[in-house]
Amino acid sequence: MSSNAAVAEHHHVGPGDPPHIHHMDSATAYGAAKLGMWLFLATEVLLFAVMFCSFAIMRFYHLAEFHDASHHLDLKAGAFNTVVLLVSSYTAAVAVTKAQKGDNKGIIKFFGISVACGLIFLLVKTYEYTGKAHHGMFPVVWNENFYEYKNFLGLYYCMTGLHALHVIIGMAVMVIYGILPARKNRYSGRYYTPVELGALYWHLVDLIWIYLFPLLYLVG
Amino acid sequence: MAHSHSHSHDELGHVVPESLFLKVLLALLFLTVVTVLVAQVDMGKWNIVGALLIATVKASLVIYFFMHGKYENRIIWMYILIPFILLAIMIGGVFTDDPFRSKPTPVGVSQQS
Amino acid sequence: MLGLLGEQGSDFAQKVDYAHDIVTIISVICTVLIVGVMIYFAIIYRQKEGKDHETPHIHGNNALEVIWTTFPTLVCIWVAWLGYDSFVDMRNVPDNAMEVNVTGRKWAWDFQYKNGKRTTGELVVPVDEPVKLVMTSKDVLHSFFVPVMRTKMDVIPGRYTYEWFRPIKTGDFQVFCTEYCGNEHSRMLARLKVLPRAEFERWLADDSEARKLASLRPSDRGKELYVSKQCVTCHSLDGSPRVGPSWLKLFRKEGKLADGSSYVADENYIRESILNPQAKTVAGYPAMGMPSYQGQLSDDDITGIIEFIKTIDGSTKVDVSQPAAPKKPAAAAGATPAERGKALVNAPDNLCATCHSIDGSKLVGPSFKGLWGRKEKMSDGTEVTVDADYIKESIYKPQAKIVEGYGPVMPAMYEGKLSEQDVSDIIEYLKTLS
Amino acid sequence: MAAHSAATTAGHEELNYLNWKTGIWSWLSSTDHKRICFLYLFSIMVFFILGGLAALVIRTELATAGPTIPSIVKDGHAYNVFFTMHGVFMIFLFVVPGIPATLGNFLIPLMIGAKDVAFPRLNLFSWYLYVFGALCGGYAMLNPVDTGWTFYAPYSTTTSSNVSLMVFAAFVLGFSSILTGLNFLVTIHQLRAPGMTWMRLPVFIWASYATAIIQTVATPVVGMTLLLIIAERVFGAGIFDPTKGGDPVLMEHLFWFYSHPVVYIMVLPAFGVVGEIIPVFSRKPLFGYKMVVISSMAIAAVGFVVWAHHMFVAGISDFSAKAFSIVTFLVAVPTAIKVFNWVSTMYKGSISFRTPMLYAMSFVFLFMVAGTTGIYLAMLGVDVYYHDTYFVVAHFHYTIQGGAVIGLIAALHMWYPKMTGKMYNEAVAQFAFAFLFIGFNLTFIPQFILGMDGMPRRYYDYPESYQTLHTISTIGAYLNALGYAVTLGNLAWTAKFGKVKAPRNPYNSAGLEWQTASPPPHENFDTQPVVTEDPYNYGTHKHA
């Protein structure tokens, strides 16, 4: 999805007009992009599905260890992160409505809030990780006395690590495909697909955290 | 004209009022508080079921409203449900195995030769 | 009934073979039918001289569709039941089953009986009595497969799995490892020996050798094994050169390996050199010299050998005069002299196969392949044709004639061990290898 | 077919997708689905040859008991490296992209009347991902991986060879496969020509649709499993390694959750190809079109619930083994229906024996053998005996080589005139077919018998009693390789030096892809085709 802005200039399309795509009209292109994004979101959910399944099995085998280890996690940080992501998900949804109304300023404002929330989320995450690293519960600085939690923590780092990576990608998508073109008010009621796809991806990131938070922090 | 469903008015997707999003956000925040409180009560096995139920409700709220799931056609809904069905099949298939595994015990002699 | 799967060794083998034969018959009939119909259509409806003749516009035929959906479904149900039924027998273990612990480890099977008796690479069971194998692995996945008994089960580290069978005939049967486990996966074999009840009882009780070794101090145990396992053949105690490095002051000795890297002969190095000698070869010694003792030495044996090596300071003496194994190897089995000769060459306590290959590859000594009747150039330049006298002399007094390009390292231990008859049997065997 | 391509543009030579832009960069940067088909075709053939050479080394080594070619295969480790290379190259780098990435890319837009796939740039990006994955995989073989293409847990997470890089390569290739599947799904949904309803889609499109669903939805599972292996090796996470409390059988579950559907990614397009070829050369509509479509989708769906029949003796619970054995039989019925429909299509046809038809008819025989031997392995009691023996090796070679690869060769012969605009030499092609057919059967029928005698797979050395069968199989392997060399040589030679111009519709097929010029112009169709009747419109309408 190289930036459509470039394509627009090349085909000297009006500021709010959809880009010229040689083998589809704009309505089909919109439908195709939406379907393509939803399929991509399905593959992302399946990536995490494997880890949820592994989590279920490891929990089945090491129930006590999972309980104790989950108490070591910082519940307040997790809950705060959940709220942060929910709010960012809300602002991303509002940004789409703004885009549909052709309000490029609104897109910048609300996507901006979402990206800011993403940053807060990552900061809280790094605070949590460094906290654990001091206790030696971090993959690289593994030390023996927390070694019996290795199953839980192994999965914890795989899940939250991959989720954090997706947060970063989501923020990048919102900036590159949302905020930057909007500053050149590229979007209008007739064309806002990248904004909607960026929001969809961000909602997925929030969706996954909605499942991660209770499984890791509350139930363990 | 390609056969896909283009709408009569010029907007492509369905415009959702921002007020609805606010209501959904409040519901989600409320459910978060609920799930944290419910988790404090130790109900043994039911804890995880409760947590997953609330999480599923929150997830469906996000899909249904935030991601415009309400206005999507059957095809997209099929691909929304497929991952969850596959997750169920995966966990179901693996759980027909692990809990029912036979655990034979070796002969009484000290095993570590 | 079709006997496609070979010998049936266990009671449920008959059920498995029955299920197998039913499916074979059905499959062959269906394949022949369908391919036959296709060829028949191809022949009678082929284009004549390339001209396209008129064809009906047939879309489908619902009746036919229904038939060929229900028929395969019914067959599948029946066949599924056959598989299901034989599987149930394989998994329900009778209560009076004799339990044996099986441990799979990289490239050998260890067995342990209820009375503590341990064997490696050989599972001995009584006939007509169920035996239940409780199995685990020490390192990676393995799988214990006995084709004759129609049973197989993976062996998983950190967990126990089981399989059982009731042998219905005596004899020696092959056991394979069928879950890929690394370099020597194809050599991780074992022998299943089914004995009559009485003979099995005697075998089970006979743990004289194990008990004697267990009583000794580790270093004495090592000394005992140094002789009984023929280490003396290749490793001297007083520093004199032999096929392998001397054990004099070997412990913590440092030196260069054949590939240039250096080594320190600590416990792990010695253990590895015993179990997997090809891993590290000391510079100047033959690469394929030493056979692996994988499976012939238990961990306690190896620890004993290491303790013994620590005690060697040049003064230790071992009376080698008394030939290694007092008991003469049982008359080599086999009808013809050549077979007896082959048995002697491959006998574990004769060690011929260690230095002389039979496929032409150059090991410590000249290869037996094509040796008989060949002209050999001696190290002192003379030319000798390989005949009976030369072979006999080379066996009894190996230092008399050394073939050019080989070292004077063949041990003179066969004088009392191999009789004249044994030597002529070996010569007959060599003739078959030309 | 109402649509008819207009006269070609002016200029001395007809402008088509091959010659309207030339130069290597025009190929490497082209987002035209027809050119990307050739990019994939060339790259997967490179790895087909490498994998084939590894197979020949393996077969030569196994010709006689004991070390046969010590100069090449020094010991067990070297042998293991060769069979891993054969497995990884053939599966991840040749047969999984195989028909979907080459013929799928070329034919799907043409068959549904579209100008290109939904996301052309993504299509090219998928190929570059494939190349990157292939390079990683190739490089990983320098410190050679010897875990087999299955990467089973305790061995793959503990061995010192380059497993992490090879597993990462497989992940990247998986990602390329996901994006291809996603692209095709959106294309088939959104870009069908007007009038091309779902029930008028050619069977190849239905097969590609089912394949694309599996590609998009199953591949992420193995992608994540492989990432977990990397996490295990690099960070020491305890998920699969038993010494850290993990469960190696869990890795098998997650691996086979993908690896069984992947065999349907390989074979479903071949079903589609055969379903296209037989009606054309029998001049008859495909018998039971609706049932063929339903069975394609049924195979794709059931493919997701049967994976543990690869693990009957892996230490799973008896209840699980019983459940999966029963469910596995559900797959047998749709496959049987497909074969019945193909043969019934030939009833009262006017059959011509061009090369594609020969391959399609041989496919019916090969897949009957493949399907019926699969029944043995679905039966619990018999699979306990046959698991991981040469019977399984022969079975999956019949399904993959006899199925997917013969399907690919048949498809190449069927659509080569459309792809290159040139006709291949019919005599050489049919001669090569005979070679291939004999060589293939000569290689793998003995392996069925070896499996019956209980010879385990992945064995470098074996007891002497198995030797004669192995020697026959090795001879067959060389014949098989020769057959491929001649077949692919013939096609390659045609593409480069072929003189015989291919007419627009050499086989007088009713398919939409044959209505445009061969080779088609860059935009596929000069005027947007409109579809007015069912796909296989052969034969005269006698009755109502």
Q: State the residue range of the domain holding A154.
A: 24-219
Residue of B1, B3, B93 lying closest to D192 (CB–CB): B3
Give me the percent of chain A exceeding a pLDDT of 90: 52
Measuring CA to CA, how many Å separate A212 from each of A37, C4, D49? 22, 54, 45
Residue of D283, D368, D456 lying closest to C35 (CB–CB): D368
C282 falls within a domain:
yes
Domain boundary among C206, C237, C261: C206
Mean pLDDT of A3-21: 61
Q: Which of B93-102, D290-299, D506-515 has the lowest mean pLDDT?
A: D506-515
**Does an H or E element contain D431, and which?**
helix D426-452
In tens, the pLDDT along C410-425 reads: 766 677 677 777 778 8
pLDDT of C207 > 70? The answer is no
Residue A31: its chain D contacts at CB < 8 A? 190
Pick from C97, B19, C164: nearest CA to D384: C164
Distance from CA of B59 to the nearest CA of A (A): 6
Regarding whether C153 and C106 lie in a shared domain, the answer is yes
Regarding whether C262 and C249 lie in a shared domain, the answer is yes
Contact, D302 vs D214, CB < 8 A?
no
Q: How far apart are CA D213 and CA D215, in angstroms?
A: 5
Higher local confidence (pLDDT), A137 or D526: D526
pLDDT of B49 > 60? The answer is yes
Q: How many beta-carbon pairs under 8 angstroms link B with C?
A: 37
pLDDT of D519 > 60? The answer is yes
> Which burial class, exposed, middle or buried, applies to C18 when counting CB atoms under 10 A from its CB (0-12, 13-18, 19+)?
middle
Contact, C113 vs B83, CB < 8 A?
no
C325 falls within a domain:
no
Residue D309: its chain B contacts at CB < 8 A? none
C318 falls within a domain:
no
| Per-residue DSSP letter, D515 | S
pTM attached to this predicted model? 0.83
Q: What is the CATH number of the domain that holds C220?
A: 1.10.760.10
Q: Which of residues 67-86 of A touch D (CB under 8 A)?
A: none
Residue C134: its chain B contacts at CB < 8 A? 104-107
Predicted local confidence at residue C208, as pLDDT: 64
Residue of B89, B94, B98 lying closest to D304 (CB–CB): B89
Residue of B51, B59, B68 lying closest to A219 (CB–CB): B51
Are there at least 3 beta-carbon pairs closer than 8 Å between B and A?
Answer: yes
Q: How far apart are CA D472 and CA D394, in angstroms?
A: 14
Give ∠ CA D185-A168-A54 in degrees, rounded to 5.
70
Q: How far apart are CA D70 and CA A112, in angstroms?
A: 66
Domain boundary among C206, C225, C240: C206
Tokens of D293: 């479509």
- When pLDDT is cut at 50, 70 and 90, the band that residue D151 belongs to is very high
**CB of A51 within 8 Å of any CB in chain D?**
yes
Q: How far apart are CA C220 and CA C224, in angstroms?
A: 6
Q: How far apart are CA C320 and CA C315, in angstroms?
A: 15
Q: What is the CATH number of the domain that holds A186?
A: 1.20.120.80
- Say if residue D279 is preceded by a cis peptide, omega within 30 of 0: no
Contact, D515 vs D5, CB < 8 A?
yes
Measuring CA to CA, how many Å separate C46 from each of A111, D329, D473? 68, 36, 34
Q: How far apart are CA D45 and CA D47, in angstroms?
A: 5
Pick from A64, A56, A53, A216: nearest CA to A149: A64
**CB of A112 within 8 Å of any CB in chain D?**
no
Best of C186, C192, C278, C361 to mutate (most D CBs within 10 Å, chain D): C186
Contact, C163 vs C180, CB < 8 A?
no
- When pLDDT is cut at 50, 70 and 90, the band that residue D542 belongs to is low
Q: What is the CATH number of the domain that holds C77?
A: 1.10.287.90
In tens, the pLDDT along A159-216 reads: 999 999 999 999 999 999 989 998 888 888 888 899 999 999 999 999 999 999 999 9
Pick from D245, B94, D241: nearest CA to A69: D245
Regarding whether C136 and C123 lie in a shared domain, the answer is yes
* Domains in chain D, CATH or no CATH each: 32-514 (1.20.210.10)
Answer whether C31 sits within 8 Å of D321, measured CB to CB.
no
Q: How far apart are CA D88 and CA D219, in angstroms?
A: 15
Regarding whether C61 and C27 lie in a shared domain, the answer is yes
Residue pointed to by tokens 């027998």: C89
In tens, the pLDDT along D269-293 reads: 999 999 999 999 998 999 999 999 9
Distance from CA of A37 to the nearest CA of B (A): 10
Q: How far apart are CA D272 and CA D264, in angstroms?
A: 12
Pick from D431, D374, D418, D376: nearest CA to D399: D374
Contact, D443 vs D480, CB < 8 A?
yes
Answer whether A43 sits within 8 Å of D189, measured CB to CB.
no
Count CB neighbours of D50 within 10 A. Answer: 19
C331 falls within a domain:
no
Residue A213: its chain B contacts at CB < 8 A? 32, 55
The dihedral through the CA atoms of D494, D495, D500, D504 has a sign that is: positive
In tens, the pLDDT along C31-88 reads: 999 999 999 999 998 888 777 778 888 888 888 889 999 999 999 999 999 999 999 9
Q: What is the number of domains present in chain C?
A: 4
Kindly compute the dihedral angle of the four CA atoms of residues B81, B85, B86, B92, in this order, to the nearest 10 degrees.
160
Regarding whether C84 and C167 lie in a shared domain, the answer is no
Residue pointed to by tokens 């309980």: A67
Distance from CA of B107 to the nearest CA of A (A): 24
pLDDT of D2 > 60? The answer is no
**CB of D220 within 8 Å of any CB in chain A?**
yes
Q: State the angle between helix axes of C218-228 and C208-215 in degrees (0 to 180), rounded to the nearest 10.
A: 130
Q: Which of the other chains make 3 or more beta carbon contacts under 8 angstroms with chain B?
A: A, C, D
Residue B83: its chain A contacts at CB < 8 A? 42, 45-46, 49
Q: How far apart are CA D67 and CA D79, in angstroms?
A: 10
A17 falls within a domain:
no
A94 falls within a domain:
yes
Answer whether D387 sits within 8 Å of C152, measured CB to CB.
yes
Q: How many beta-carbon pairs under 8 angstroms link A with D?
A: 110
Pick from D414, D440, D285: nearest CA to D360: D414
Regarding whether C156 and C79 lie in a shared domain, the answer is no
Kindly compute the dihedral angle of the four CA atoms of residues A167, A169, A171, A177, in this order, to the nearest 10 degrees.
-150
Domain boundary among C74, C91, C108: C91
Distance from CA of D33 to the nearest CA of C (A): 33
- The distance between the two most distant Cα atoms of chain B, rounded to a whole number of Å, is 82
Residue of D190, D213, D250 lying closest to B94 (CB–CB): D250
In tens, the pLDDT along D413-428 reads: 999 999 998 999 999 9
Residue of A56, A83, A219 lying closest to B29 (CB–CB): A83
Distance from CA of C81 to the nearest CA of B (A): 20
Residue of A nearest to B23 (CA): A90
C133 falls within a domain:
yes
Q: What is the number of domains present in chain A?
A: 1
Q: How far apart are CA A171 and CA A175, in angstroms?
A: 6
In tens, the pLDDT along A84-116 reads: 999 999 999 999 999 988 888 989 999 999 999
Q: How far apart are CA D363 and CA D273, in angstroms?
A: 10
C174 falls within a domain:
yes
Count CB neighbours of C163 within 10 A. Answer: 26
- When pLDDT is cut at 50, 70 and 90, the band that residue C403 belongs to is confident
**CB of B78 within 8 Å of any CB in chain D?**
no
C6 falls within a domain:
no
Mean pLDDT of D508-521: 85
Regarding whether C105 and C189 lie in a shared domain, the answer is yes
- When pLDDT is cut at 50, 70 and 90, the band that residue C395 belongs to is confident
C176 falls within a domain:
yes
Are there at least 3 beta-carbon pairs closer than 8 Å between C and A?
Answer: no
Q: State the residue range of the domain holding C216.
A: 210-311
A147 falls within a domain:
yes
Residue D190: its chain B contacts at CB < 8 A? 2, 4
> What residue type is assigned to position D371 of the chain?
G
Predicted local confidence at residue C287, as pLDDT: 64
pLDDT of A11 > 80? The answer is no
Q: How many beta-carbon pairs under 8 angstroms link C with D?
A: 277
**Does an H or E element contain C132, and which?**
strand C131-137
Q: How far apart are CA C157 and CA D241, in angstroms?
A: 9
Are there at least 3 beta-carbon pairs closer than 8 Å between C and B?
Answer: yes
Residue of A45, A60, A214 lying closest to B83 (CB–CB): A45
A30 falls within a domain:
yes
Mean pLDDT of A68-92: 91
Q: State the angle between helix axes of D203-235 and B74-95 in degrees (0 to 180), rounded to the nearest 10.
A: 50
Give the gyration radius of chain B's Cα atoms.
23
Residue pointed to by tokens 């008010």: A185
Q: Which of the other chains make 3 or more beta carbon contacts under 8 angstroms with chain C?
A: B, D
